Chains A and B, each alone.
Chain A
Amino acid sequence: MSKLLSALIAGLLFGLGLLLSGMSNPAKVLGFLDVTGRWDPSLALVMAGAIGVAFFAFRRAERQSHSLLGEPMQLPDKSRLTVRLVLGSVLFGIGWGLAGICPGPGLILLGMALPAGLGFVLAMLLGMLLLPLLLRCCS
């Protein structure tokens, strides 16, 4: 199998999982994040289901130098807990909490041809392009 077809299949499976789990619906994500309101615990089970499966795959992957298609295993080797990591995650969380959309569901909403999906994804890409400029200004 070609590696591009394999990556396409992974993306399709991921997207079907997001749709099935309900996480492509921003109201459902906000219902999880709203712990002090009427709480919808679904997202916690999505994480548990995903980690319960992927844990075994990553344990296998960590022991291998190459993938089944012969590609080098590219796993992150960073281990330092940095201010950058914390600050970035906090900013991401604020954005996530404002609309209930993270990058995967954003792409799903765009794939459903929803104008809000297009707006969110374009703004997200703009943010990704802005970061290097912001870092240059601040350093």
Chain B
Amino acid sequence: MQIAWEVFTPAAALAGGALIGLAASWLVLMNGRIAGISGMLGGLLDRAGDWPLRLAFVLGLLLAPTLWWGLIGPLPTIQLATPLPRLLLAGILVGIGTRLASGCTSGHGVCGLSRLSPRSLLATGCFMLSAGVTVYIVRHCLGWA
């Protein structure tokens, strides 16, 4: 294994992670809810009874870049070279998969692992592994960008 030291950003990663943990802590202690983004979106699509709360949380995420721009300045660089058909296929698989598994990186990966949930541990292991294998196939077997 070769570490890409020039792009490794340990301080920002830890601080940003702590902020994500603070957000999840806030939502569970104040509102009694799990900060699972796919779950929030899924409930919105189903027009669940608590949709206003879900919408408020999702709006917060959507407005975060604007707040960053106002408070801190220029937004971080985004590097995304995925061609459109693959991007859309990725979106559809993320939608189907997170709904089938009742959670994604936030619900299972952050909140579930913080609760030491065996289901979330299994889910996180599965999506990390399948994502790693997918990147391996795409980059190293198919040689796509």
Contact = CB atoms under 8 A, between A and B. Distances in A.
Contacts of B86: 98-99
B110 A89 contact: no
Interface string B86-114: 11111111111111111011101111111
Given A49-B17, A94-B97, A99-B86, A8 B60 contact: yes
A15 B64 contact: yes
Interface string B54-83: 101111111111111000000111111110
A74 to B, nearest CB: 5
Contact of B100 (A14, A87, A106): A87
B86 to A, nearest CB: 6
Contact of A11 (B18, B58, B75, B122): B58
Nearest to A4: B56
* Chain B: interface size category: 35 or more
Contacts of B18: 17, 49-50, 52-53
Contacts of A137: none
Interface in A76-121: 76, 78-81, 84-104, 106-112, 114, 116, 119-121
B131 A93 contact: yes
Contact of B60 (A14, A61, A116, A128): A14
B65 A108 contact: yes
B78 A26 contact: yes
Nearest to A66: B32
Contact of A8 (B4, B28, B56, B128): B56
A109 B21 CA distance: 20
Contacts of A37: 2, 139-140
Contact of B105 (A16, A80, A86, A103): A103
A30 B82 CA distance: 11
Contacts of A109: 78, 80
Contact of B4 (A38, A110, A130): A38
A125 B139 CA distance: 27
A15 B65 contact: yes
B93 A95 contact: yes
B37 A49 contact: no
B31 A7 contact: yes
12 contacts: A11-B59, A13-B23, A19-B75, A38-B3, A76-B34, A89-B124, A91-B96, A92-B104, A95-B97, A102-B104, A102-B106, A108-B64
Given A13-B20, A54-B24, A102-B94, 18 more contacts: A3-B53, A6-B26, A10-B60, A20-B16, A21-B12, A35-B1, A35-B136, A37-B139, A75-B28, A84-B101, A88-B98, A97-B132, A100-B82, A103-B38, A104-B61, A119-B87, A119-B88, A128-B99
